[in-house]
Amino acid sequence: MEPETKLSQLKTLLNEVFDLYNVIGLLKWDQQVNQPPGGTHNRSHQLSTLYRLYHSRYTSDEIGQLLEDLGLYAAQLEPDSDDARLIKVTTRRYKKLTRLPADLVAEIAQVVGEAHLAWEQARPAADFARFRPYLERIVELRRRQAELFGPNDHIYDSLLDEYEPGLKTADVQAIFSALRTQQVALIQAIKERPQVDDHFLHQHYDEKSQWDFGVEVISRFGYDWNCGRQDKSSHPFTETIGPGDVRITTRFLKDYAASALFSTMHECGHALYEQGIDPGLSRSPLGSGASLAVHESQSRLYENLVGRSHDFWLHYYPRLQAYFSTQLGNVDLETFYRGINKVEPSLIRVEADEATYNLHIMLRLELEIALIEGSIAVKDLPEAWNSRMQEYLGLTPPNDGQGVLQDIHWSSGDIGYFSTYALGNLISAQLWECVNQDIPDLPDQIRRGEFTGLTSWMKEKVHRHGAKFEPQELVQRITGSKIDPAPYLRYLNAKYGEIYGL
Amino acid sequence: MEPETKLSQLKTLLNEVFDLYNVIGLLKWDQQVNQPPGGTHNRSHQLSTLYRLYHSRYTSDEIGQLLEDLGLYAAQLEPDSDDARLIKVTTRRYKKLTRLPADLVAEIAQVVGEAHLAWEQARPAADFARFRPYLERIVELRRRQAELFGPNDHIYDSLLDEYEPGLKTADVQAIFSALRTQQVALIQAIKERPQVDDHFLHQHYDEKSQWDFGVEVISRFGYDWNCGRQDKSSHPFTETIGPGDVRITTRFLKDYAASALFSTMHECGHALYEQGIDPGLSRSPLGSGASLAVHESQSRLYENLVGRSHDFWLHYYPRLQAYFSTQLGNVDLETFYRGINKVEPSLIRVEADEATYNLHIMLRLELEIALIEGSIAVKDLPEAWNSRMQEYLGLTPPNDGQGVLQDIHWSSGDIGYFSTYALGNLISAQLWECVNQDIPDLPDQIRRGEFTGLTSWMKEKVHRHGAKFEPQELVQRITGSKIDPAPYLRYLNAKYGEIYGL
């Protein structure tokens, strides 16, 4: 059989696998947005059945044989072509997936289910002891998984690789080492300056007007409503149901306007990425983002580099004031701009500002690596958490609910995930420097509320490639260097230097 | 291996098959309710992938072997037990499904896709010629399918059996023969009487108030909002996403209040059935209604026997007037009751009243049977349609768009479906006579807006059994006779005799 025929067979099989993947996306979206309470139990069955089918079709002998047969053919193709990359990325993923025995996959799923229930009780009760045995099991299972994936330079590598293909633990550690002392120093310097007032954000803002303003903004960003929709959910997220159907959600916090505003822009950033992927890559392993960090670079770029910038509000603040004349009529642009950029070390990651956010991440990454290495025991986690919080942010949680128990990730079995948030911030600043070099009048465009240039650039450089390139490779192609903390530090120092008069 | 172990294996495999079936339900629900236009194309891929998996898992050798091995065991079980019925119903379905070659299934899917597109253009253009070649293909493929399913007493049997397991063409013909002349005579008699005024229904009714009133009514009927939700869609429907998640939709027609009102009650009837099925039957072939006709008996019962009854409005009309004082403040109960029960022969099935509805169905059934038998050619269909319309309803469509092209069913490949609507009407009246015998004060309960007795009776007699019994068997168990047109004729004659003074 000709290799072209085999490639076409492979694509057909992958189409089926990724149809299942997208249907899982719909099941999850529906679960958060529409599902009545009575459907909860059965939705777990459906998800479990679909995941099992997805996994078993992805790891089928048929796909394995085709990939093996296509190895030589792929080597003759132009290395950056869609077909060469499809074979490369699929082969890499196939090898990882087939190293996991089905009973380990099933055991992880079961433990995660129980762990999540335990965490849901432990967090409000601030009772780490209740969660501890489950976390111990999860760490043990993920360690076993990492060993099966191995060998690697570091046992944590293959867990990180699940979210950031190709990235090494040592890379992330080097990046974060360069970042840590400087971010801590910045926060210290800010602390000694007069603080910013943002009380005007903490009052009642009409939900419908918040919704309308958000829609106005992200429509200008380029969100394609013909290929998506926005709903409400308790936690904002973006879900790709398939090419041509990328949905976002938002939420409205009582008496805090900034939540919906910036989360809408954030999710729009994710959605622009998914909507911008070349349709020819859809229904395949190449049809999603390059990695979680690259994804986060897009959400953070639209949320922060654009959405919390002075240029942006020069155009949009009068519009926002028109929606909320009672709340903002007497608040001038400068006060508003400083308010939405207030820096304040806090206990909770999801409420953290741009300057402190990465420190929350570093803390988690260090603890995760230590857990997987075995250099720290789960029982010692709360203490290790609290001492690092004091060191990095000068705070100590009053209890574990506001400390080590705050995040859902570990209870969901996600170990290796956290660093992608901080890496996303770094990449966003790298891309920001590049796009501003390529489009010298970008600030002017933004001051006019125009984003076509920005979003087209992102589509051309980032979005359309889907998962063809690994994150480091993609960042290198665009910016000329790998993931690098320097641009983000420059950005933070310039922005907060100006706001806080450092 | 013990038969109990094999049965348990069978159940596990069926759980997976019916998880897929319910996920298909979600894909279809989402398509009508939420999906943005850009997702249309890909949704077809997803549905096609899921249907293919559903079919291939259902017809797997593994299930076939287990069913064969369990044959003797099933014969020793109590014949009406869940397990005995599960094996029986699954075996029956398995045998039918495995008789269809995969390439015929694929060909039908493809032709149906094209036929539907052609019909969507042909109907508004009233251009039967454009649809004709596709309908010819569909008839040919369904005939081939019927032959593969055979042998049967009549070639149409196995198509009908897809919707009404066990029912024979001869049964339906006998039932409809008994019905036809009497329904035609009734309509003739009504025609000669003074006509009813319903102009007050044809004005603007606030959508939100219609929604609220409908919610109020179906909540009293017993619709469980914890296990369902209502949305808007262009055609009302009920979709089961899984046990504990049965969703309904409604629509609002501009300037015609009766549409949303009665379609909401109608879909609630379907939903009560699905919500009332014994949870122990879920995720299996027994976890849905006995047949489309039995399903329709529930929707028509709540819509018509209850919802268009004088007793019902004795309680609810003051409530409705409170919602719509401008429109109904000066319309008395009698006038309203007569208005919502106005009989008027019309061209379009979905707009037909209770007295004329069945005649639309008989016409379609006769033509379908003739098409499959080969006693009429597709090219002669418009003429045959129009001459029967004249004979049964005294009307001739001005064009094929309002005639032979009006329904979606044939373009979707559904042949064998139509009679279930009329059979549902007949069964609803049979059940109505029974429940009124068992609960002598049911009319009083309804006049007080109480439906707990009614819905509990339906749940006990009909809903909880799911698909354990074939429709004729179920109707016989409950009413003491098979599907019988006499109660429906008694009902029509009594009701319309009173309204029209016959």
Angle at B179 between CA B177 and CA B184, to 5 degrees: 110
Residue of A nearest to B12 (CA): A49
Q: Mutation test of the interface with chain B: which of A46, A58, A226, A232, choosing the one with the most B Cβ atoms within 10 A?
A: A46
Give the pLDDT score at A339: 97
Question: Which residues of chain B have a CB within 8 Å of the CB of A49?
Answer: 15-16, 19-20, 23
Give the contacts of B19 (CB within 8 A, at least 6 positions apart).
Answer: A45, A46, A49, A50, B242, B283
Calpha distance B361→B359 (Å, rounded): 5
Contact B20 A49 (CB under 8 A): yes
Q: Looking at CA atoms only, how far is residue B50 from chain A in angstroms?
A: 8
Residues of chain B whose beta carbon is less than 8 angstroms from a beta carbon of chain A are: 15-16, 19-20, 22-23, 26-27, 30, 34-43, 45-46, 49-50, 52-53, 224-229, 241-245, 247, 282-283
Calpha distance B321→B311 (Å, rounded): 16
Q: Looking at CA atoms only, how far is residue A287 from chain B in angstroms?
A: 13
Alpha helices in B167-309 (DSSP H): 169-191, 207-221, 258-276, 292-300
Starting at the edge strand that comes first in sequence, how are the strands of the sheet with A245-250 ordered?
Answer: A230-232, A245-250, A238-242
* Choice among A267, A296, A366, A368 that is catalytic: A267
- Of B15, B38, B42, nearest to A226 by CB-CB distance is B38
Contact B228 A15 (CB under 8 A): no
**Stretch among A150-164, B99-113, B198-212, B484-498 having the lowest mean pLDDT:** B99-113
CA distances for B100 relative to A163, A313, B154, angstroms? 44, 64, 18
Angle at A137 between CA A57 and CA A54, to 5 degrees: 10
Give the pLDDT score at A156: 96
pTM greater than the 0.90 cutoff: yes
Asked whether residue A66 carries a pLDDT value surpassing 90, the answer given is yes
Calpha distance B50→A57 (Å, rounded): 13
Asked whether residue A266 carries a pLDDT value surpassing 90, the answer given is yes
Tell me which residue of B90, B18, B63, B42 sits closest to A49, measured CA to CA: B18
- The model's confidence at residue A15, banded by pLDDT at 50, 70 and 90, is very high
Give the pLDDT score at B253: 87
Burial of B75 (0-12, 13-18, 19+ CB in 10 A): exposed
- Of B19, B36, B41, nearest to A45 by CB-CB distance is B19
- Torsion angles phi and psi, residue B47, rounded to 5: -65, -45
Give the pLDDT score at A256: 87
Q: Looking at CA atoms only, how far is residue A229 from chain B in angstroms?
A: 7
pLDDT tens per residue across span B303-343: 999 999 999 999 999 999 999 999 999 999 999 999 999 99
Contact B42 A243 (CB under 8 A): yes
Contact B36 A229 (CB under 8 A): yes
Asked whether residue A254 carries a pLDDT value surpassing 90, the answer given is no
- % of chain B residues with pLDDT over 70: 100
Asked whether residue A103 carries a pLDDT value surpassing 90, the answer given is no
Asked whether residue B257 carries a pLDDT value surpassing 90, the answer given is no
Residue A236: how many CA atoms within 13 Å on its side-chain side? 22
Question: B324, B209 in Cβ contact below 8 A?
Answer: yes
Calpha distance B486→B492 (Å, rounded): 10
Calpha distance B193→B188 (Å, rounded): 9
CB neighbour burial string for A11-29, b if at least 16 within 10 angstroms, e if fewer: eebbbbbbbbbbbbbbbbb
Question: A225, A268 in Cβ contact below 8 A?
Answer: no
Asked whether residue A496 carries a pLDDT value surpassing 90, the answer given is yes
Give the pLDDT score at B258: 87
Asked whether residue A151 carries a pLDDT value surpassing 90, the answer given is no
Give the pLDDT score at A1: 87
Asked whether residue B433 carries a pLDDT value surpassing 90, the answer given is yes
Contact A46 B23 (CB under 8 A): yes
Size of interface A-B (CB pairs under 8 A): 123
**DSSP, residue by residue, B139-175:** HHHHHHHHHHH---SSTTHHHHHHHSTT--HHHHHHH
Calpha distance B351→A495 (Å, rounded): 66
Give the pLDDT score at A216: 97
**CA A117 to chain CA mean position, Å:** 24
CB neighbour burial string for B286-319, b if at least 16 within 10 angstroms, e if fewer: bbbbbbbbbbbbbbbbbbbbbbbbbbbbbebbee
Asked whether residue A110 carries a pLDDT value surpassing 90, the answer given is no
**DSSP, residue by residue, A362-418:** HHHHHHHHHHHHTSS-GGGHHHHHHHHHHHHHS---SSGGGTTT--STGGGT--S-T
Tokens of B404: 């032979």
Tokens of B239: 């979709």
- Of B46, B229, B247, nearest to A23 by CB-CB distance is B46
Average pLDDT, chain B: 96
- The model's confidence at residue B103, banded by pLDDT at 50, 70 and 90, is confident
**CA B342 to chain CA mean position, Å:** 23
Token match 């849905």: residue?
A: B288
pLDDT tens per residue across span A396-431: 999 999 999 999 999 999 999 999 999 999 999 999
pLDDT tens per residue across span A37-55: 999 989 989 999 999 999 9
**Catalytic residue set of B:** 267
- Of B41, B244, B282, nearest to A244 by CB-CB distance is B41
Token match 């429109």: residue?
A: B327
Contact B50 A19 (CB under 8 A): yes
The residue ranking higher by pLDDT, A226 or B107, is: A226
How many residues would you count in chain B? Answer: 502
- Of B15, B36, B226, nearest to A38 by CB-CB distance is B226
Calpha distance B63→B6 (Å, rounded): 10
Q: Mutation test of the interface with chain B: which of A19, A48, A284, choosing the one with the most B Cβ atoms within 10 A?
A: A19
Asked whether residue B255 carries a pLDDT value surpassing 90, the answer given is no
Give the pLDDT score at A106: 84
Give the contacts of B199 (CB within 8 A, at least 6 positions apart).
Answer: none
